[in-house]
Amino acid sequence: MDFTSLISKFRKRAPVVAVLPLSGVIGQAGSARKGLNMASLAGPIERAFKMRNLKAVALAVNSPGGSPVQSALIAKRIRALATEKEIPVVAFAEDVAASGGYWLACAADEIFADPNSIIGSIGVVSGGFGFPELLKRLGVERRLRTAGDSKAMLDPFSREKAEDTEHLQGILSEMHENFKEMVRAHRGDKLKKKGEDPFSGAIWTGNKALEMGLIDGIGDLRSVMRERFGEKVKLRLVRVEKGGWLRRKLGLSAGTWADELLGAIEDRMRWGRFGL
Q: Which of 245, 261, 266, 251 is nearest to 40 (CA)?
A: 245
Q: Report the alpha-carbon distance of residue 212 to residue 202 in Å, rounded.
A: 12
Q: Are 67 and 37 in contact (CB under 8 A)?
A: yes
Q: Report the alpha-carbon distance of residue 48 to residue 77 in Å, rounded.
A: 12
Residue 53 lies in a domain: yes
Q: Report the alpha-carbon distance of residue 191 to residue 214 in Å, rounded.
A: 6
Q: Report the alpha-carbon distance of residue 229 to residue 217 in Å, rounded.
A: 17
Residue 96 lies in a domain: yes
Q: Quick one: 47 exposed, middle or buried, by C-beta within 10 A (0-12, 13-18, 19+)? A: middle
CATH classification of the domain holding 39: 3.90.226.10
Residue 167 lies in a domain: no
Does residue 267 have a pLDDT over 70? no
In 124-140, which positions are buried (b, 16+ CB within 10 angstroms) versus exposed (e)? beeeeeeeeeeeeeeee
Prediction pTM value = 0.79
CA dihedral sign, ordered 27, 28, 33, 39: positive
Q: What is the pLDDT of residue 248?
A: 45
Residue 4 lies in a domain: no
Q: Are 148 and 237 in contact (CB under 8 A)?
A: no
Domain that holds residue 264: 13-123+183-272
Q: What is the mean pLDDT of the chain?
A: 83
The strand ranges marked E within the chain are 16-23, 54-63, 89-98, 110-113, 118-120, 203-205, 217-218, 234-237
Compute the average pLDDT of residues 12-41. Answer: 81
Q: Which of 157, 160, 164 is nearest to 132 (CA)?
A: 157
Q: What is the pLDDT of residues 204-259, one digit of tens each?
A: 999 999 999 999 999 999 999 999 999 999 999 999 875 544 444 444 444 454 45
Residue 73 lies in a domain: yes
In 69-102, which positions are buried (b, 16+ CB within 10 angstroms) versus exposed (e)? ebbbbbbebbbebbeeeebbbbbbbbbbbbbbbb
Number of H helices, E strands in the chain: 10, 8
Residue 150 lies in a domain: no
Q: What is the pLDDT of residue 2?
A: 60
Residues above pLDDT 90, as percent of the chain: 54
Residue 169 lies in a domain: no
Q: What is the pLDDT of residues 101-151, one digit of tens each?
A: 999 999 999 999 999 999 999 887 776 666 767 767 877 777 777 777 777
Q: Report the alpha-carbon distance of residue 276 to residue 268 in Å, rounded.
A: 9
Q: What is the pLDDT of residue 126?
A: 72
Residue 131 lies in a domain: no
Q: Which of 145, 150, 216, 153 is nearest to 187 (CA)?
A: 216
CA torsion 143→145→148→150, rounded to 10°? Answer: -10
* Total domains, the chain: 1
Amino acid letter for position 35:
G
What DSSP designation does 142 have? P
